[in-house]
């Protein structure tokens, strides 16, 4: 697989998101041995970039990643995140106090079976803690050798600049897909100016662009999509036009809709590395195959023109989640 750079950090051109493995989209946590095997298969297929977080589970995803990658630790890049009050038993509350960061990192290191985290993100900016204090705490961890690079998730351009001024930021993570393109105007110019990489999560629109849902689909309470406005039945009926658009282009390119969606993300900038998640071997192989789908400049312009004609309904997040996004 080709290599891309997030700041000065080299990673495979596509990563693996390890959140779905804990049952984020329903069905409960997946079998440990199966997930360890899946992660190792990703590595054997050329993936060297693995994304997790202490809050995923909590702790379970990091444990899967740690066990799977211990034998090849020096050949992979592990990204994890702090920023929620997991250590204090408050996993939905933001917490980026420096003492919490230090405790969170120590716990992550143990679960990941490693002495350092290659890329450590602040999961969400904490309005109660100045980003300069957060950056200072991370800088100390970097100087101690426990962290190699750091990043932000769902941060504004203002926050990114303030953080970068204290210690260089390697990457910023945010939701990004054909149906959610706000980062292009909100943070892309800042990332390009500062030489920061971009790591899109949910690049296949939470499997919508894989054709996994339709207007008759009903999500139970254990599936993250159950209360997302864009996945409500009335919204899905409108939004199916985007899936048909992706399918039409997939036929033109002799590929699948999900591979086309991922190839489109990858083609947007040379410093973008998507992290699609999965719990199934066939989907893993399909996702990885997207790196072989090439889109020309003319095709990208045609795709943009087509996307501009599609009306979408529903926001990307529920009100509580929206309240934790950085709009500074």
Query: Residue 310: what are its φ and ψ, rounded to 5°?
Result: -95, 125
**Among 7, 17, 10, CA closest to 265:** 17
**Among 247, 258, 223, CA closest to 310:** 247
Question: Residues 6 or more apart from 122 whose CB is under 8 A from it?
Answer: 81, 82, 83, 96, 134, 138, 150, 151, 152, 153, 155
Return the biggest CA–CA distance within the chain.
53
Q: How far is CA 295 from the centre of its chain?
A: 22
**Among 168, 39, 164, CA closest to 113:** 39
In DSSP terms, which residues pair with 120 in a beta bridge? 80, 150
CA distances from 131 to 24, 74, 127, 137, 304 (A): 29, 31, 8, 10, 35
Active-site residue (options: 56, 121, 176, 201):
56
Three-class DSSP category at 103: helix
194 in Cβ contact with 164 (< 8 Å): yes
> What is the spatial distance between Cα 39 and Cα 65, in angstroms, rounded to a whole number?
7
Residue 74 burial (C-beta neighbours within 10 Å; 0-12, 13-18, 19+)? exposed
**Among 246, 244, 219, CA closest to 230:** 219
24 is catalytic: no
- Element (DSSP H or E) covering residue 91: strand 90-94
In DSSP terms, which residues pair with 272 in a beta bridge? 198
Q: Which residues are catalytic?
A: 56
């Amino acid at each position: 697989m080709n290599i891309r750079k997030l700041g000065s950090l080299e990673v495979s051109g596509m990563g693996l998101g390890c959140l779905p493995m804990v049952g984020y989209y329903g069905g409960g946590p997946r079998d440990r041995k199966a997930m360890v095997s899946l992660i190792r298969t990703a590595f054997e297929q050329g993936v060297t970039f693995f994304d997790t977080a202490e809050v995923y589970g909590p702790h379970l995803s990091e444990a899967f990643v740690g066990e799977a990658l211990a034998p090849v630790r020096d050949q992979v890049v592990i990204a994890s995140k702090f920023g929620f009050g997991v250590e204090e038993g408050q996993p939905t509350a933001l917490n980026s106090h420096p003492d919490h960061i230090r405790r969170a990192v120590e716990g992550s290191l143990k679960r990941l079976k490693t002495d350092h985290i290659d890329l450590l993100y602040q999961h969400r900016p904490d309005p109660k803690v100045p980003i300069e204090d957060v950056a200072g705490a991370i800088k100390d961890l970097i100087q101690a050798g426990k962290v190699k690079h750091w990043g932000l998730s769902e941060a504004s351009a203002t926050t990114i600049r303030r953080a970068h001024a204290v210690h260089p930021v390697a990457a910023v993570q945010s939701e990004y897909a054909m149906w959610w393109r706000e980062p292009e105007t909100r943070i892309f110019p800042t990332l390009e100016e500062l030489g920061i990489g971009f790591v899109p999560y949910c690049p296949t629109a939470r499997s919508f662009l894989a054709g996994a849902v339709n207007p008759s689909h009903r999500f139970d309470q254990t599936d993250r999509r159950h209360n997302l406005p864009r996945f409500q039945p009335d919204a899905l009926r409108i939004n199916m036009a985007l899936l048909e658009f992706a399918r039409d282009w997939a036929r033109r390119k002799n590929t699948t809709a999900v591979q086309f969606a991922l190839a489109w993300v990858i083609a947007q900038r040379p410093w973008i590395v998507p992290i699609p998640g999965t719990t199934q071997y066939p989907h893993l192989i399909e996702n990885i195959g997207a790196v072989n789908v090439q889109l020309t400049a003319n095709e990208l312009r045609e795709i943009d023109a087509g996307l501009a004609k599609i009306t979408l309904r529903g926001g990307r997040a529920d009100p509580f989640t929206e309240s934790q996004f950085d709009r500074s």
